[in-house]
Structure 1
Amino acid sequence: MFVYLSKVLPTLVYPTGFMFLCLIAALAFINSRPKLSRIIIILSLIIIWITGTPLLSNLMIRNLESTYPPYNGSETAKVIVVMGGGTDSWEYPRQMVELSGAGDRILYASKLLKEGKGDLLLFGGSYYTVLDGAEQSVAAEMAAIAEEIGVSEDKILLQEGSLNSYEEAVADSQILKKMGEEQIILVTSATHMRRAVACFEKQGIKVIPAPVDYAITDKEWAALTEFNLKRFHTWIIPQSGNIRAFETALKEYLGIFMYRLRGWI
């Protein structure tokens, strides 16, 4: 139940879901309490502007992504653990398992393996079938992509029984400890790395972070923080991309809060 609620309830506090509820409330009170209705509409516009312009969303993303520096290759581990995600299921009309936004995790982990930074890839994660209706686990889909780009099947381990980051860390750690491995290279999206590292450290695993899938580069951050008249409109006109970035960051902050509340990290 927690897994289901953790996927559904946040949509009500994300800007799009919250504004939708606000507009329903505004319509409900438009005749009986018109002043309250106007206040709710103004609140919705403020939320659109704050989350739809780049300052807040990029600050939140940057804060998450700067938690750990990029992997410098100086430390190695037998197992490279790749957090679940980054694939779209093989369903018609797709002709294969496809990469989604977080697919860089698979590509980067495969690259590190080929460079000799580790001996094995451990892919974890299973679809939550109530919401996704998928027949193949995330782990198996990630493995399929890795094999497509040249990773040998005997270099891949699968863990297909976890539904969230905490369960994935617990299940992966059990596999690692049976192997006698207590240090890993951990590959996941830079925004997700803070929570992922904390989950594994809670299980007694030493983590070498290897973040990937960065949303903001140093060049983009510098451009964002410098005044440019040609880009001024991006500071005052809300854009959907900024709202998506805000929701990505908010999901992580909520996840960190809830995981701490439950004693998972």
Structure 2
Amino acid sequence: MLVVLFVLLLVAALLYRLHRRWFGHVLVLLAGLLFFGMGCGPIPHVMLDSLQGPYYTDPAIDWAPRNAIVLLGAGTVGPGDEALQPSYFANGRIVRAAQLYNACKLAGKACHLFVSGGDSQDHGEPESIVYGRALRKLGIPEADLTLEARSMTTWQNAQFIRPLLAQYAPQHIVLVTSGVHLQRSLLYFAHFGITPQPVAGDWIMANWIPIPVSWNFVVTDSALHEYLGILRYRVYTMMGWNAPKAPPLPS
């Protein structure tokens, strides 16, 4: 979004040089409104609420005899020479997936946890492998973990997890990712015939503050990334550029 603001100011400067001062004033005013609207919180608040609002409430899950929990990746970090760890934005998802697994087992049902994520950051190890270590430390047994380590995008998360789910044949599927990521994830999973119950592992919120802060620009970019991903999917579908829709996954 800062790039957008810079471009607006650059165009305004060009208009001033061309003696189109009125249009230049309009662009400068627009850039100022966007800067304070984003930096002070109102714009990212509206954007995030639209994306996350449906998933603020902790859902009631009616566990079936045979269940699958799908956990999507959110990056890794490498502190020095230590082994890779889940990123800041991944820990909420991992903890939530472990909680759901334990709740499913407590209900006396069969449950399997699928972790999807390759090495999209080129850190040398797939996200799913890193998350698998964290989940085992949280008490998830190896036998109930399947790690999908090829996917580099949310689209591939859905694409590559489908055959694994088809092989396991769950009667109920739960999808765990960040609240801001759920709408786009559900759209892509539906394209591959998967209709899971969504559960947010975390949410991001804008700060309402009279002085612009960098955090609000970060969360604005996160929300914009999701909106652009949804728009791209709809444009690709309209143009026939997406792969054909898959039939519903049998349950």
Query: Which of 231, 238, 245 is matched with 2:212 structurally?
Result: 238
Give CA-to-partner distance per residue, 1:176-225, whole Å, 9 cap, x none. 11222363111011111112122222222231111220224xxx9xxx9x
Aligned-partner Cα distance in 2 for 1:170–1:25: 41
CA contact (8 A) 1:75 1:208 kept: no
Q: What's 1:88 paired with?
A: 76
Q: 1:95/1:176 Cα in 2 relative to 1: closer, same or farther (>3 Å)?
A: closer
Following superposition, the deviation at residue 163 of structure 1 comes to 1.6
SS of the aligned residue for 1:237 comes to coil
Report if aligned partners of 1:176, 1:182 keep a CA contact under 8 Å in 2. Answer: no
Which runs of 5 or more structure 1 residues have no equivalent in the other structure? 1-14, 225-230
- Which runs of no fewer than 5 residues in structure 2 stay unpaired? 246-251
Q: TM-score, normalising length from structure 1?
A: 0.75
Which residue matches 1:250? 224
Distance 1:111 1:40, change over 3 A: same
How many angstroms apart in 2 are the aligned matches of 1:33 and 1:46? Answer: 23
* CA distance, structure 1, for counterparts of residue 141 and residue 188 of structure 2: 28
Aligned: 1:103 with 2:91 = yes
Residues of 1 paired with 2:162 and 2:169: CA distance? 10
Deviations, residues 234-262 of structure 1 (Å, cap 9, x unaligned) = 2x432222222222211111111111222
Aligned equivalents of 2:28 and 2:70: distance in 1? 46
In structure 1, give the amino acid aligned to 2:53: S
Contact 1:71 1:211 in 2 (8 A): no
Report the count of equivalent residues: 232
CA deviation map 1:115-173 (0-9, x unaligned): 22662111111133xxx332111111111221222222222101111121111101101
1:192 alignment partner, SS class? helix
User: How far apart in 2 are the matches of 1:133 and 1:34?
Assistant: 47
Residue 133 to residue 27, structure 1, CA distance change in 2 (3 Å): farther
Q: Is the 8 Å Cα contact of residues 67 and 194 (structure 1) preserved in structure 2? A: no
Does the 8 Å CA contact 1:23/1:44 hold for their aligned counterparts? yes
Residue 259 (structure 1) aligned to one of 233, 236, 242 = 233
The whole-number CA distance in structure 1 between the counterparts of 2:167 and 2:46 is: 41
**Counterpart in the other structure of 1:18:** 4
Which residue of 2 is the match for residue 146 of structure 1? 135
Structure 2 CA distance for aligned equivalents of residues 200 and 144 of structure 1: 25
Q: Which residue of 1 aligns with 2:100?
A: 112
* TM superposition score normalised by structure 2: 0.79
Residues 58-101 of structure 1 show CA distances to partners (whole Å, capped at 9, x for unaligned) of 1211111123442223334521000121x423352555514412
Do residues 123 (structure 1) and 115 (structure 2) align?
yes
Task: Tell me if 1:54 matches 2:28.
Answer: no
Q: Hey, what's the Cα distance between the residues in 2 that align with 1:240 and 1:90?
A: 24
Contact 2:77 2:85 in 1 (8 A): yes
Letter in 2 for 1:18: V
- Conserved 8 A contact 2:119-2:150: no
State the Cα RMSD in Å.
Answer: 2.8
- Residue 154 and residue 214 in structure 1: after superposition, are their counterparts in 2 closer, same or farther (change >3 A)? same
